[in-house]
Structure 1
């Protein structure tokens, strides 16, 4: 599945990927399209067979802080929003850890990784614990069950902390185990939020969001309690794209490592959709930074299948993806100078053709302009063709240069007005892009 890898209507940010058995599960917050706040009052679970990442199954709601038409509330002491959960397996049970805004967080359990999860209790802390623990909020909890059965919880917003959890009940903090500033706020760490622990071989990883947090950075240690060494950035959702907060983690699925993260839609940081990129963990434990692409779990896209506009991974100049309804997504507010990019297409090895056809579906905005098709670099790449944009809704057709091999593709937009009166049309919206396809 390309990015975003879940259906158009689903917004699952803060994704924590976990492989249980032969399926990968994604646990995350639940955003709403066009919302004016982060998250809602429901957690949902999606999963896929590790050998078939193109077909994801929704398991429905797994936990609630407010009653809805189908479920009672699971938290009688609060009805606030649910943020950034994590789920771990211990002794055949699956434990959900949730942060609830401005309220005591909690632990819930299920016999199945998809839930639904039943409340065990709020977090239990020892008397005289540090003030940050006494609040029992445990912001953005990430949990690690180590090979020896010991359990650690990592949390924090603006500062980080960790504690050890008693494995007999999975909810009680062991006295004396609290450690503040497990990742410093000072550079190069610059900790902000979104702790997510993983163990790879004998190395402990903490993936997190630093200050100015469109990135996911990571640190490593040879102990679950640190000290941790800063290692760098894995992915940045703000590179040539309307960026915002980030939260996610790494996961090995059928021998391939991935970074799960989210990116923004609807011209807001509060409608976030899950994305994923392939990564590599080198022998020294480092993870080279990867770019944001349209690929998701795929290794390349086919230009000969219709590409919906919301697969764009480059959006510059002020354009953005928005939800028209549960089915339709378009790139809107396209003005002169905007660039929309997709990475990467495999055009094949057909050397017999000199040209191919390009078709794009646009919504007109009452103005005229031009769309240039550029390979590999929007500023200095090869221009393979162009289309004229009119004022009305249209399906554009153009003969463009035939292409072979693997390429990124960029649409560069220009207005269609020149001369003295062109100045009066600057900044006007040219069109909205719904999608496109190549054919021979």
Structure 2
């Protein structure tokens, strides 16, 4: 289910790379609750099935960059490629410096960092079938050039200024390049819908363009009331293609987590736009599976995902659902017949209406009581009003007084 990593890891700006049958995730590291992007460390995540991940913490730190003034700058979005037998980690920082560090393994540790003589953020690297290396970076007007695999500097005469632009493509930042057949796909943060919350893509017959915009792959609007950006990639793994993206939380631009959805290519090479889901790559969630509320695929209103900790551990939940606000979960599988639903909630007494898809009549209404504290989650149950079969979006809508505030931790259907 989404997010795909342990919820304590806030990893945005993800690039997915595949080596020797394993997929590796490289991204920035947000510090939960901080009012700023990223941090001074990179982590790497390794998986064979996109479900179970091995974590490699602190694979690179800003203290290892060569420029003394940049050692205190945060590490922004990275990328990685294998070049000349080495695993090359391309980094950038909030002072807009960029560089590369090296390792003998895709999980690092990465050392011997050197600067790349460009100015910007969000490096992306692509190695073509003939071994040529291409480097992409920048915001609003994308920059691209061939990269010398010996010096790791761009080759000036190959530099393209404006390989994609905000005016023509809706480009905001965060380029990522892949090749499928004879087409090059440039995925990027797209601002054409008002906020840079979408991943758009453009295609070309050459890595340095010209690129033609083809559409949007996914949009994270609705993951948080304050969501501002998205940044990710597409990748093929075990014969299937996926889009990796992030969702913000905690009522801010930050505290972003990695999510993934399957994607489909059409005969003309376009990618069908996909929606954010709770299920992710797993397929519809069996109705008798307990689902944590923070895995919502969309929040309708001002509520947001928050967390708390007590003597038993750290927990995520949906905070502050007001009258008329709701959370959605895509998708729940009712292959087996359910007879009841239980939610764990805290806060004010309320009615929680349970809807399927976009129906206007609820299948159940759960009456909750006021709890002793905002983190003292209690179970409340009710019978379903009808038999359900098939796959459905679930929507939980809070009803009550104008000052009502309900926190939601989980739900599950019963037999």
The more displaced of 74-83 and 99-108 is 74-83
Task: Report the alpha carbon displacement of residue 270 of structure 1 after superposing the two structures with TM.
Answer: 1.1
CA contact (8 A) 2:224 2:305 kept: no
Alignment-derived partner of residue 100 in structure 1 = 93
Alignment-derived partner of residue 374 in structure 1 = 355
Task: Report the alpha carbon displacement of residue 158 of structure 1 after superposing the two structures with TM.
Answer: 2.3
Alignment-derived partner of residue 60 in structure 1 = 57
SS of 1:291's partner is coil
The answer to whether the aligner puts 1:185 opposite 2:166 as a matched pair is: yes
Alignment-derived partner of residue 374 in structure 2 = none
The answer to whether the aligner puts 1:155 opposite 2:137 as a matched pair is: yes
Q: 1:76 to 1:182 in 2, by over 3 A?
A: closer
Q: 1:258 to 1:204 in 2, by over 3 A?
A: same
**Match 1:197 to one of 174, 177, 181:** 177
| CA deviation string 1:40-97 (max 9, x = no partner) | 0001000100xx222111012211014xxxxxx4445222000000001123311111
Matches within 5 A, 1:293-332: 293-325=277-309, 327-332=314-319
Alignment-derived partner of residue 404 in structure 2 = 429
SS of 1:176's partner is helix
SS of 2:362's partner is strand
Q: Supply the distance in 1 between the matched residues of 2:405 and 2:368 (Cα, whole angstroms).
A: 7
Q: 1:122 to 1:413 in 2, by over 3 A?
A: same
**Match 2:344 to one of 361, 368, 379:** 361
Q: Supply the distance in 1 between the matched residues of 2:286 and 2:66 (Cα, whole angstroms).
A: 46
Q: Supply the distance in 2 between the matched residues of 1:214 and 1:163 (Cα, whole angstroms).
A: 26
SS of 1:53's partner is coil
The answer to whether the aligner puts 1:215 opposite 2:208 as a matched pair is: no
Q: Supply the distance in 1 between the matched residues of 2:378 and 2:308 (Cα, whole angstroms).
A: 18
Task: Report the alpha carbon displacement of residue 381 of structure 1 after superposing the two structures with TM.
Answer: 4.5
> TM-score under structure 1 normalisation?
0.88
Q: Supply the distance in 2 between the matched residues of 1:202 and 1:103 (Cα, whole angstroms).
A: 33
SS of 2:131's partner is coil
Q: Supply the distance in 2 between the matched residues of 1:429 and 1:90 (Cα, whole angstroms).
A: 57
Q: Supply the distance in 2 between the matched residues of 1:152 and 1:56 (Cα, whole angstroms).
A: 29
Alignment-derived partner of residue 226 in structure 1 = 209
Q: Supply the distance in 1 between the matched residues of 2:67 and 2:47 (Cα, whole angstroms).
A: 32
Alignment-derived partner of residue 333 in structure 2 = 346
CA contact (8 A) 1:161 1:178 kept: yes
Task: Report the alpha carbon displacement of residue 18 of structure 1 after superposing the two structures with TM.
Answer: 0.8
Structure 1: gaps of 5 or more residues: 67-72, 125-135, 416-424
CA contact (8 A) 2:11 2:27 kept: yes
CA contact (8 A) 2:135 2:154 kept: no
- Aligned Cα RMSD in Å? 1.6
CA contact (8 A) 2:199 2:218 kept: yes
Matches within 5 A, 1:217-256: 217-239=200-222, 241-242=224-225, 243-256=227-240
**Match 2:146 to one of 164, 170, 188:** 164
Q: Supply the distance in 2 between the matched residues of 1:394 and 1:247 (Cα, whole angstroms).
A: 37
The answer to whether the aligner puts 1:387 opposite 2:366 as a matched pair is: yes
The answer to whether the aligner puts 1:288 opposite 2:272 as a matched pair is: yes
Alignment-derived partner of residue 105 in structure 2 = 112
Task: Report the alpha carbon displacement of residue 24 of structure 1 after superposing the two structures with TM.
Answer: 0.5
CA contact (8 A) 2:223 2:248 kept: no
Alignment-derived partner of residue 28 in structure 2 = 29
> TM-score under structure 2 normalisation?
0.93
The answer to whether the aligner puts 1:407 opposite 2:389 as a matched pair is: no
CA contact (8 A) 1:100 1:137 kept: no
SS of 1:89's partner is strand
Q: 1:332 to 1:183 in 2, by over 3 A?
A: same
Q: Supply the distance in 2 between the matched residues of 1:115 and 1:324 (Cα, whole angstroms).
A: 32
SS of 2:243's partner is strand
CA contact (8 A) 1:258 1:279 kept: yes
The answer to whether the aligner puts 1:396 opposite 2:380 as a matched pair is: yes
**Match 2:74 to one of 72, 77, 81:** 81
SS of 1:337's partner is coil
CA contact (8 A) 2:265 2:271 kept: yes
